[in-house]
Structure 1
Amino acid sequence: MWKAVEAAYQAGVEIMKIYETEMEVEYKEDQSPLTIADKTSHSIIVQALKQMTPKWPVLSEEGSEITYEERAGWEDFWLVDPIDGTKEFIKKNGEFTVNIAHMKNNKPEAGIIYAPALDTLYYGDKQNGAFTLKQFSKHMGRLTSLDELLKQAEQLPASHKSTDKIRVVASRSHLSEETKAFIEELKSDGSIVETISAGSSLKLCLIAEGSADYYPRYAPTMEWDTGAGQAIVESAGGRVLTATEQEPLAYNKENLRNPWFLARR
């Protein structure tokens, strides 16, 4: 996984070069934005992953035209979002991430989330647990393995002061009426609810950290938006379950859109 961490970091370095310029924005058929940074990040990550694990296919947002018939039998594969939070990237508020997940039998086995503007890395796998390392660029020059990274990183969930508030993290760009209703339901028994706004997969990272208690996502997402974050949340002892059936999110479906879900500590 260390090479995948390096790929996320290198993609982040190139993303930040573009972030600091005036960028052109294209729009896909679904009207979601696309920048040269998305394409550059995709290219860097896919090239690195194919060198590391030549037999593992890559399913990326910027390469998602692979047919279901072709990918239905995949066992190990990479699930990649070159930039999660492109809208936040365009707004230049820093709340965007690079997401790489190792999927095994259509379940998140390990996840990497790097927030380039915040220079913070999140990592999680079933064997080692979940970790975060801030000011990550300062560590890169002397790290050569995953073991070394985990020795330097802080294990999650982090130690936070107890609070009498219920902390709900919500999307900065996609706050639906259903999410508002969830928050109001929490308040109905007199509980004090604090709403935290965040963009991209950072919302799932806040759950893994223990900085938030719930992340209701009652609005559209795709599998590459959540694979890495779910791996990190679950490695930290949390859950990411569908809103109706209360089952873990399924991956590599024929339709790559996620159902509504609720992440919790």
Structure 2
Amino acid sequence: MKNNTQSITDPIEIAIKAAISGGSAIMEIYRKPNFELEIKDDRSPLTEADTAANTLINQYLIETDIPIISEENKNLEYDDRKHWDKCWIVDPLDGTKEFIKRNGEFTVNIALCQKGRPVLGVIYVPVSRELYYADVTKKIAYKTILDEELNLTNELFAEEDRISMSKTSKALARVVGSRSHMNQDTLDFISSIESDFDEIEVVSKGSSLKFCLVAEGKADFYPRFAPTMEWDTAAGHAICNAVGLKVISQQTNEELPYNKENLLNPYFLVSQ
């Protein structure tokens, strides 16, 4: 991976390398005609790709001596976690249903959180080789595409890769929804903003790519009124925060917190 060692911080470089490595493991299994699939206790699917990616990502992140919360790890009880100042939050394969459907809309999500807030985020899309990464404290976010050898085509933090959101127009509001989840609460939200805009367009997308659409200015709202876990949102939250977007809990009207006692998120809305 090409990099500019003077302009990157070690955690971002490590997270990017971990995400790319995890993505490579996922693609090896994605290319198989068949892959192993099981159903977890919460009825969500688990593939051998989830497990393989998680193993590789953990190998990178464990070197930082920062504790890890991952969907596929056995996570510690809150009595232990509540003392953590920092932690990694990882989803080694976000969008397992999209992986099973083979539509390419799945991601690797890695975030570093400090005092319950995301401070950096990496989202990697293995099929398209798109890489999103952000430093929240510096308020910068980037998108680049890796070459076929999975190297960066530009140096990290290249100005030409920087992303920014566009302001919502009164003429058109683009609401990003899910490939796999569209419930009545979401439809009600769309109805609630119809009078504010000339036209409403629903943009469907799977996995954490929904956050990326809003961060890139390709959508204006992302209402998520269905269950998610912290690993589903932390990396996307970081990327959105870095470009000035808010990820607001519908429970508290404040930014989503992380490393909570219950790792289940409340419903939330991403908007300007």
TM-score normalised by structure 2 residue count? 0.90
1:173 match:
180
SS in 2 for 1:63: coil
SS in 2 for 1:187: helix
Matched, 1:114 2:124: yes
Over the matched positions of the two proteins, sequence identity in percent amounts to: 46
Distance 1:242 1:137 in 2: 39
1:195 match:
202
Taking the TM superposition and a 5 Å limit, the aligned residue runs for 1:47-62 are 47-51=59-63, 53-54=64-65, 56-62=66-72
2:108 match:
98
Distance 1:49 1:38 in 2: 16
Structure 2 residue corresponding to 1:16, chosen from 23, 27, 42: 27
Counterpart of 2:180, as a letter, is S
Q: CA deviation at 1:160?
A: 9.1
8 A Cα contact 1:79 1:102, kept in partner: yes
Compared with structure 1, are the counterparts of its residues 237 and 15 closer, same or farther at alpha carbon in structure 2 (3 Å cutoff)?
Answer: same
SS in 2 for 1:250: coil
Counterpart of 2:56, as a letter, is I
Compared with structure 1, are the counterparts of its residues 190 and 229 closer, same or farther at alpha carbon in structure 2 (3 Å cutoff)?
Answer: closer
1:239 match:
246
Distance 1:259 1:161 in 2: 25
Counterpart of 2:14, as a letter, is K
Distance 1:222 1:137 in 2: 32
Distance 2:228 2:84 in 1: 22
Q: CA deviation at 1:217?
A: 0.1
Compared with structure 1, are the counterparts of its residues 91 and 73 closer, same or farther at alpha carbon in structure 2 (3 Å cutoff)?
Answer: same
8 A Cα contact 1:171 1:203, kept in partner: yes
Distance 1:141 1:194 in 2: 33
SS in 2 for 1:65: coil
Matched, 1:45 2:52: no
Q: CA deviation at 1:142?
A: 6.9
Distance 1:30 1:218 in 2: 18
Compared with structure 1, are the counterparts of its residues 184 and 163 closer, same or farther at alpha carbon in structure 2 (3 Å cutoff)?
Answer: closer
Counterpart of 2:124, as a letter, is Y
Compared with structure 1, are the counterparts of its residues 182 and 112 closer, same or farther at alpha carbon in structure 2 (3 Å cutoff)?
Answer: same
Counterpart of 1:68, as a letter, is Y
Taking the TM superposition and a 5 Å limit, the aligned residue runs for 1:185-264 are 185-189=192-196, 191-264=198-271
8 A Cα contact 1:205 1:233, kept in partner: yes
1:85 match:
95
Structure 2 residue corresponding to 1:67, chosen from 66, 70, 77: 77
Counterpart of 1:249, as a letter, is L
8 A Cα contact 1:96 1:115, kept in partner: yes
Distance 1:15 1:90 in 2: 12
Q: CA deviation at 1:191?
A: 2.9
**What is the number of residues matched between the two proteins?**
259
* Unaligned segments of structure 2, at least 5 residues: 1-11
Distance 2:245 2:152 in 1: 32
SS in 2 for 1:140: coil
Distance 1:119 1:19 in 2: 14
The answer to which of 92-101 and 181-190 deviates more is 181-190
Distance 2:254 2:169 in 1: 29
TM-score normalised by structure 1 residue count? 0.92
Counterpart of 1:33, as a letter, is P
Distance 2:231 2:206 in 1: 15
* Unaligned segments of structure 1, at least 5 residues: none
Matched, 1:6 2:17: yes
8 A Cα contact 1:112 1:228, kept in partner: yes
Distance 1:217 1:159 in 2: 21
Distance 1:64 1:137 in 2: 34
The answer to which of 179-188 and 255-264 deviates more is 179-188
Counterpart of 1:6, as a letter, is K
